[in-house]
Amino acid sequence: MTPPATSSLNASRRASDLATLAAGEVVDVLVVGLGATGAGAALDAASRGLSVAAIDAHDLAFGTSRWSSKLVHGGLRYLASGQVGVAHESAVERGVLMAHTAPHLVRALPFVLPLTPLVSGSSAAAAMAGIRAGDLLRLSARTPRAVLPRPRRLSAVETLRLAPALRSYGLRGGILSWDGQLTDDARLVTAIARTAAAHGARIITRCRALALTGEGAHVRDEQTGEELVIRARAVINATGVWAGGLAEGVRLRPSRGTHLVLRAEALGAPLSGLHLPVPGASGRFALVLPQEDGRVYVGLTDEPADGPIPDVPQPTEAEIGFLLDLVDSALEVPVRRSDVAGAYAGLRPLLDGPGGRTADLSRRHAVLRGADGVVTIVGGKLTTYRRMAEDALDAVIEERGLTAGPCRTARLPLIGAASGPELGRLTAPAHLVRRYGAEAPDVAALAAADPSLLDPVAPGSATIGAELVWAVLHEGALDESDLLDRRTRIGLIAEDREAALPAARRALAHAPAGTGSR
Ligand SMILES: Cc1cc2nc3c(=O)[nH]c(=O)nc-3n(C[C@H](O)[C@H](O)[C@H](O)COP(=O)(O)OP(=O)(O)OC[C@H]3O[C@@H](n4cnc5c(N)ncnc54)[C@H](O)[C@@H]3O)c2cc1C
């Protein structure tokens, strides 16, 4: 059976795609793992004209890809550690996302480094030099200044205008710089996976690979417990921190990064992100990251996370306390434990290297070719998912002798992508345009038959019922957790999640019974 050429993912399409694979269809490429990397590999392969199946044990963006800082960054920190190639690659991929493939999902976020008494004159000069070097990276990646404005010094008054809660005592001003910020990391993964689906990829969640070979995988449908074999001419292992469990000789050394989730009022509703120096750790900064939904994330720790890999990593109280102390050291207003509305942690899929702390390991990705023909793609970061996917596909095409077209993803817009002026002309609420791009009017139109779908799903939440129904019909959401923890991020605050559960249950009643296409 030919897969429907539509971007819509839902329970009905999943069932028919899985049935086709169970019946013995042989695909060109099987991708295992649907984080940013695996979804990117599925899109790369499908857009080169290859037939593709991509599976995840849980859901789209179930792993590390939803626990990031949600930045599409230009690689300044890699430049600082002398990794010029990694930094340049990051800057190029940031430009690709912001200017071509996902301008609807990435905005330019201003960052302020406040020049407090903690920042000496020489540190400030070094920081300014670094930020200027970051602007040169932007230039070398050919990202226009209209996309990422020029960095500059700020007066104390300008600094406080952007971040009113900063402690004013001793504030000498600030350094303003710009970087890319995602509307949400899990939404990026959803958009990549749906774009792959629009190119015919079979995207199947709740399907766990139990064992891989170069010719396919033994898998289990986690909905029914049934086991089956998916046959493929090439197999890509894109399971992030879990990659070592499926491929011989892949050794990872995960490190845990924790973020706090606060309501913006608790931090004086900052208009910019903040780089806050970590006392006693030269060149290390904590991030304050205002989101468009009235929340602010504060990160980021870097702790070795040896031992068994949990499905959902948990932040420790010590990490939460460390971040609170950092924020407290810079702000006029006290931020208490009770202000922490939520916290999340993710594991960086870092390749094990010789000695040293995990923070010092390279963020470069690696394509590892197993003796059985399985190609593992691991390491890297969200920003560079497209390049990682391209490298993985180049490797399997060569290794397995597949006939495929050239990589097209650097100029292939993701579903919903449109230019700023086009997005500005859409007749849909602004918050929907920021989350769905050109599809926002279609999301809003769901409320025509049921105006209650325009209501927020929890008190004070920016998310409306129509978004949950849209996720069930078109974004492959199969249960409450898919809806609240990945298609939307209501679940990052437990009390909001609880309040939104009834809306999620109502939305699931819209699951399509017999059709798989829009
Ligand atoms: C705290 C933190 C902050 C970060 N911030 C940023 C940032 O701001 N910007 C940036 O560019 N990068 C950032 N990163 C890095 C980035 O998030 C990761 O590099 C990236 O998300 C990894 O994606 P992935 O697809 O390789 O892995 P994952 O997202 O972990 O995907 C792996 C998938 O494989 C699935 N899977 C596992 N086992 C199986 C199996 N047996 N069968 C089928 N499926 C399976 C999992 O369910 C999962 O969905 C951050 C990382 C962390 C930890």
The reported pLDDT for the residue numbered 300 is 84
Pairing of strands 207-213, 216-221: antiparallel
d(CA 243, CA 306): 15
243: CA distance to ligand 1 center in Å? 11
The reported pLDDT for the residue numbered 516 is 38
3-state SS class at 183: coil
The ligand 1 atom at the shortest distance from the C-alpha of residue 255 is 53
The verdict on the CB of residue 56 being under 6 Å from ligand 1 is yes
The reported pLDDT for the residue numbered 517 is 37
The verdict on the CB of residue 106 being under 6 Å from ligand 1 is no
146: CA distance to ligand 1 center in Å? 30
The verdict on the CB of residue 94 being under 6 Å from ligand 1 is no
H/E stretch holding 181 reads: strand 174-182
Residue type, 101: T
Sign for the pseudo-dihedral over CA of 22, 26, 27, 29: positive
The verdict on the CB of residue 65 being under 6 Å from ligand 1 is yes
The ligand 1 atom at the shortest distance from the C-alpha of residue 65 is 21
d(CA 226, CA 52): 21
426: CA distance to ligand 1 center in Å? 33
The ligand 1 atom at the shortest distance from the C-alpha of residue 60 is 49
The pLDDT tens digits for 87-122 are 999 999 999 999 999 999 999 999 999 999 989 899
Of 503, 225, 209, nearest to 374 by C-alpha is 209
Per-residue tokens: 5: 């050429």
The verdict on the CB of residue 63 being under 6 Å from ligand 1 is yes
The pLDDT tens digits for 43-93 are 999 999 999 999 999 999 999 999 999 999 987 777 777 788 889 999 999
The reported pLDDT for the residue numbered 434 is 95
The low-confidence residues of the chain, meaning pLDDT below 50, are 1-4, 356-361, 514-518
63: CA distance to ligand 1 center in Å? 5
Find where tokens 């766990």 sit.
208
Query: Is the full-model pTM beyond 0.75?
Result: yes
d(CA 294, CA 274): 16
